[in-house]
Structures are given as C-alpha cells and as structure tokens.
Structure 1
Amino acid sequence: MIVADDEKVNRINTPPPVIHHRQPIRSSLRLSNTKHSVQSDVSKPIAPHLRSCGRSDIVRQRVGFLGWTIARWILLLTNTMLLVYGCIFLVATCATYGLAYERAIIIVIANKEILAVSFTASLFCFLTSIVGYIGIVNKNRRYLGYYALFLWVCFALIITVGYLGFKHRTWNLKAQLGVRWRHDYTPKQRELLQDNLHCCGFENPSDHAAYFLRCWAQSLLPGCQHKFYLFENAFLLNTYTIAFAILPIHVAVILASILCSNHVDVVFGTRSRPPIPYLGEFKDWREWEQAMHKQK
C-alpha cells in the first residue's frame, strides 16, 4: 500500500510531457523572406517624395529638355496639333452657322448633315485636346488613358465627314440636287438659294421656283441647276479631301498617345518586381528553375 501511494504521488508531481510540433517549411521560409525583405528595404535609401529614388536595382530613363521626358514632349507636340486643327474647323463651322460669309447659307441648307458632323468632330477634338493637356501637365495616366480613348471617337467622326462628302459627290450629284430642290426644300429655302446664287427655279423660272422680287415666271435669270452643281461639287470635293488628309496626322496622334502615355514620367517600367513569398530568395520562376538545375 505504501509503494502504491508513492507511485501516485510521483505521477502527480511529474510534469506532463512536452509535445514539439514541427512547423512547415513554407511558413519558416515566409518568415525568413519577410525578415530578409525588411532588412533589405531598411538598408536602401528612400527619398520622401519618391520611394524608388537612389535604388541600385532601378535604371531610370534620361530626362529630356526642361526636366521633361522625350515621350512627354512628343505627347505635347501631337496634342498641340490636335488642338490646332480642332480649333480651325470649330471656328469654320461656327462661322458657317453664323452666316459669316457669302455662301454660308448654301452650306447650311444643302449640307446640314456634313456641317453637323463636322461641328461635332471639331468640338470633340477640341475637348479631347484639353483632356490631353491636363494629363500631360499633371503627369496623370488616367487622364491620358481617357485621352487615348477619345481620340478614337474623333477618328470615327473625321472618317464620317469624309465619307459623307465622298458619297454625296460621286453618287449622281445632279440627280440628288434635283430631288432635294423639288421635294425636300421649303419655298423659303429655295428663295434663299435663288437670292444667293442669283438664279430662278431649278432648270428654268417655271421649274419649282420661289417667286420674289428678283424671280418671277417671265424672269430672264437662268436656272439654279448649273451654279448649284458647281458650288456643291467643289464644296464636297474640298470636304472629303481635307478630311482624308487629316487622317494620317490623327493616326500619328493616336499612336503617340498609345506609345507615350505610360512614359510621361521616369518611374514607369523602372521598378523591380515585387518579391513572391513562396519563391523564397528568388525573384521569379526562372531563377528558381535555374537553382534547381544547379542542385541536380
């Protein structure tokens, strides 16, 4: 009985066995990697305004004239070109709507579709250039992304102007003018066209003429067909020629926005890849595979 009591006391006084859990290798690698990354980050100089300043693993682009990169100057040049021809056509279309020159009333009446699309395209080019200037000055890639997207809309509108001018001129222009004169134009519009072109009626004074002080049934004024055709033929030719001539310049502006928007400063493309925790001390899979081949 005494021996049994001593065994019970020894069992009570003995501490429980300590069980050592084996930690997985992956977690230990993470801890070591984080410690290594923290030590490496502390040892590298970090500027208050730019965290990558002074790091040896970063190769920076050369800064061009006046502290701007070459890509930024290219963006500024191409965006200025966009602003120039956008403003020119915006002023021209506004002057046409305001009847600022002699033949403006003919364009407003006979080419209202082309005039509306031209005004929309020029206004959109102007607003897109403003967005581009904001992105270039502030080095804001988000605005430059919107700028590159809006340029495609401007491209579509410019093509539409050229297509409308080419279609109206080549698809039997004389027949189109006759149909419009006889069926589409109001008497007031015919009177304005006759007064501007100094003619009466379409083929003669008795062919759908709008009579007023200068035009009556026995008038000696010629019909408007010839003068109207000559003006429309020249106007449509100039319209689609100018529109298609601008397209290569606009394509160059689009290419510049795509290629140079990310390089508006010297930071893009120069930062090293962030470390991948489960790769340990290796930066990518290629280095890990090379190390595995060397161990074999």
Structure 2
Amino acid sequence: MADTTQRPRRASTSSVPPVIAPRISTTRVSFENDASPLAPPSVPFAASPSSSSGLRPPSLQSLAFQQSASSSHPSLASPSNMHLQAPSLSLNYIPAKFSRPHSPGSRLHNRKSAIQQLKTSQPRGGGRAAFALAESRMPEEGDEDYDGWITGKDEGKTKPRLRWNRFKWALFVTNVLMTAYTLTALVFLLLTWFNTLPDADVIRTANHSELVISTVAAALGLLTSLIGWSGILLNNRAFLGIYCLLLWISFAFLCAPGYITYKRRAFNLEGKINSQWSREIGVGGRLKIQNQLKCCGYYSPFVEATISQTCYARSTLPGCKAKFLKFERTALENWYTIAFALVPLHLIAIVVSLLCSNHVTYRFGKGMMPRAYRLNMSSMAVLMDNYASQLAEQYNFPASNSDVGLRRPRTGSQGMDSLYFDKYADGPAPSIGEQSKSDSYEMEETKKVTTM
C-alpha cells in the first residue's frame, strides 16, 4: 500500500504528462534566438538532492495549470491585459527568490536599532548585495508602495520622514564647499573684468590669458556644483554621473591657471616682462599700466613711453619696470597659491562623488524590480520551453516526422515508456489560447497511443 501511494507522488513531481509536452515546444520557434543558455540540467524528470541549493526551474505541471487558467478566464487574454501575456525583459534573468515588503512601521535608514535589525534579519534586497547569490531581487504582487511613499502610512494619515544617509551627507558637504569657492572666485574674476577692483587694468592687460582660463574654470566649477545639487536633491543618478564627469574636467581647468602662473613667475619673469612691454601690450596697454602704477616709460620717460597728461619728456615719474616687475611677482604668486590650495578640496569632491554617487541605488530605489523585468506567464512559458528543448537535445531524443507529429520516446521515472507529440515543430507556434482549445483532442490522441 505504501508503494502505491508513493508512485503517484513521484509522478506528479518528476514525470511529465504527454499532453503538456506539445505546449512546451510551441513557442520555441519564435523565442529561440532570444533565450540565453541555462545551466546544465540534471537528470531529466527526476529530482536531484543538490537542486535545492541552486536555481531550479518551475515544474511543467505548474505551467500547464497557468495555461489552462488563462483558457478558462478569457479576460486574461483581453487587450487590456496584453502586458501580462507579452514576454517581459526578464527572459535572460532567473531570480533565486522573491522579496517581501518591509515590516510595518520599520525604519531602515540611519537608526541604530534598524541597522541592528537588518544585520540579524534576512536582507530585503537592493544595492550591491542584491546581486549576490540567492539574494532577494523582485517584489511580490501588490507591493508597489510598500514603503508608504505615495499613499502614506497609517491609512494615508502620515508620510514617512525624509532621512539622509551618510553618502548623501558627504556629497552635500563637498558640494557646499565647491559651490562656495567657485562662486567666490567667479565673483572676484567678474569684478576684475568690470575694472572694479584696484589694479584690475594691469591684470587685464598683462595677464589676459590667465584671467580667461580662470574665468572658464570658475564658471565650469559653478555649473558642476549646480548639476551636483540637482543629483543630490532629486536623487537622480544620471545627474550624479554627469556631476562626477564634470568634476574631472573642472579639475583640469583649475590646475591650468595655477601651472601657467607658476611657470611664468618661476622661469625668467624679468625677460618675459621686457618682451611683453616692447612687443605684446602695445600703446594702449602701456598707457593703462602707466596710469595705474603711476610711472612713465619703461626705464625713463625717454624709453618706450606712451605720452599722456602725466607722462611726457620732462615728467618726474619713475620708470615702470621696477613697479611692474614687483606687481607681477606678487600677483602671480597669489594666483597659483590660491589655485593649488583649492586642488585638495576638489580632489576630495571627486573621491566622494566616485564613492557615494551610488547612494541612490543603496536599496535599488524602493528595493523593487522594474515592471519591464518582472516575470509573467508568457516569460515562464518561454523559459520552460527552452529548458525542455535543451533537455531533449542533451539526451539525444530521436526525432522523425510523421502524420501525427514528432514522436519522441522517453523513459519515465517509473521505467515505463511513454510518448509525446510535437505537431507544431515545423510550423509557427500558436498562442496559449489556441493551445488550450486543442486540449481535449490531444488527450484523446494520447489515450489511443498509450493503449496501443
């Protein structure tokens, strides 16, 4: 009596009724190129002791039950529910298990008790840990808003408090510093361009290239910080990626004026000033420097001087070389000192952006798989179709065309020979509804074959 009760149980879990096999192979033609290779299967139609530790495809009986359910409920095949029947993007993705909603009232951010609870409990999925082996990755039905963000908690009466994690605080602090020094530098540079600061004419005339590069660096740094604010406050990972990229570009523009000014001051500054006065700045530039530094001519009023109301042949003003050289040494030293002093802060901002930009996906948003990647009945049918075809190819089932269909003998778990038919192997695969209509006919044909 014990043997008779165990045999049907093994047959229900490991053997495949002949009527199921034609439906499994029907979608092989249309989706054969889309499916990715699966892991090597175990012995066909027999449970393996090691299968409990790894990924195991669902049974073929469950697939038949889903297809028969769709045939018994025509509303599932209506145009309004076509997204349930169309294969999803998860055909190449087989999850180990499904995640569940968070416990009601649990706080998972920045609380010692919640952190301790997470350490001792099962992980809920999301972040880098979601890609580990056998981790929760996908939600269940009806948990679109299990965090209470849209509908609120306590029947919509309360909203969850916004809590920033340490990654967002690090981004916030570094972006505040970057916004502060780029905005300050841009203000001083604009005041220099508008000739508001003292000695601004000398800088605009003698250090025009350095002034242009510094202005571009400050403007680009301010734009980068604004993009960073967009990514931080909106939790937008695209903005954070652009922010990280622009940090490197602004870092290059930050180092450029510091390098140029240091090189100009350290290597033959006097010879560069001599060449600049006689060849580059022109008459208008000499006049601006003479009026600003209160000097006349380069060595004296008789050497490369520009005539003005204060500079003429009998003027008592000294030459401009000594004052101009002293001014350039001081200005260039302050210039590259400020530029190189901002480099460590900028490097810290780059490192923080690289390490903390993933704070948006720390729990994969809400910890849910996107809808386009969720499994549905059609996706499971395609997966099981490919799995069954790989089993047939691996164990070399003979195939021959006949009037009835493809007849492939196999040996079941109980040692009894049985047959299944694939009459759609050479033609287009019908839909699930068309397959369900031929269930009665296939059952009759199977009974005739098995009784022969």
- TM category (shorter chain) comes to 0.7 to 0.9
How many residues were matched structurally?
252
Paired letter, 2:332: L
Paired letter, 2:297: G
Alignment partner of 1:75: what SS? helix
Question: Is the 8 Å Cα contact of residues 190 and 210 (structure 1) preserved in structure 2?
Answer: yes
Alignment counterpart, residue 100 of structure 2, candidates 28, 36, 44:
44
* 1:110 positional shift: 0.3
Aligned CA distance change for structure 1 residues 31 and 101 (closer, same or farther; 3 Å): same
Q: Report Cα offsets for 1:46-95 as digits up to 9, x if no partner.
A: 89xxxxxx99432689xxx9501110011011001110000000001000
Give the structure with the higher percent helix: 1
The residue that corresponds to 1:213 in the other structure is 309
Q: Report Cα offsets for 1:193-243 as digits up to 9, x if no partner.
A: 101111011111111100111111222211000000111000000011111
Question: Is the 8 Å Cα contact of residues 262 and 268 (structure 1) preserved in structure 2?
Answer: no
Aligned CA distance change for structure 1 residues 21 and 87 (closer, same or farther; 3 Å): closer
Question: Is the 8 Å Cα contact of residues 296 and 317 (structure 2) preserved in structure 1?
Answer: yes
Question: Is the 8 Å Cα contact of residues 255 and 339 (structure 2) preserved in structure 1?
Answer: yes
Residue 153 of structure 2 corresponds to residue 97 of structure 1: no
Alignment partner of 1:67: what SS? coil
The residue that corresponds to 1:178 in the other structure is 274
Question: Is the 8 Å Cα contact of residues 189 and 211 (structure 2) preserved in structure 1?
Answer: yes
Alignment partner of 1:166: what SS? helix
> 1:230-241 counterparts in 2 under 5 A?
230-241=326-337
Residue 75 of structure 2 corresponds to residue 75 of structure 1: no
Measure, in 2, the Cα distance between the counterparts of 1:45 and 1:20. 35
Unaligned runs of 5+ in 1: 1-17, 48-53, 281-296
Measure, in 1, the Cα distance between the counterparts of 2:313 and 2:245. 57
Alignment partner of 2:354: what SS? helix
The alignment-based identity, stated in percent, is 33
Q: Report Cα offsets for 1:255-293 as digits up to 9, x if no partner.
A: 000000101464149969999x79x9xxxxxxxxxxxxx
The residue that corresponds to 2:15 in the other structure is none
Aligned CA distance change for structure 1 residues 39 and 199 (closer, same or farther; 3 Å): closer
* 1:101 positional shift: 1.9
**TM-score, normalising length from structure 2?**
0.50
Q: Which has the higher contact order (CA 8 A, sep 6+)?
A: 2
Stretch deviating more after TM superposition (119-128 or 217-226):
217-226
Residue 356 of structure 2 corresponds to residue 260 of structure 1: yes
The residue that corresponds to 1:142 in the other structure is 238
The residue that corresponds to 2:344 in the other structure is 248
The residue that corresponds to 2:250 in the other structure is 154
Unaligned runs of 5+ in 2: 1-17, 26-40, 46-55, 64-93, 104-117, 128-160, 376-382, 388-452
* 1:114 positional shift: 0.6
* 1:138 positional shift: 0.8
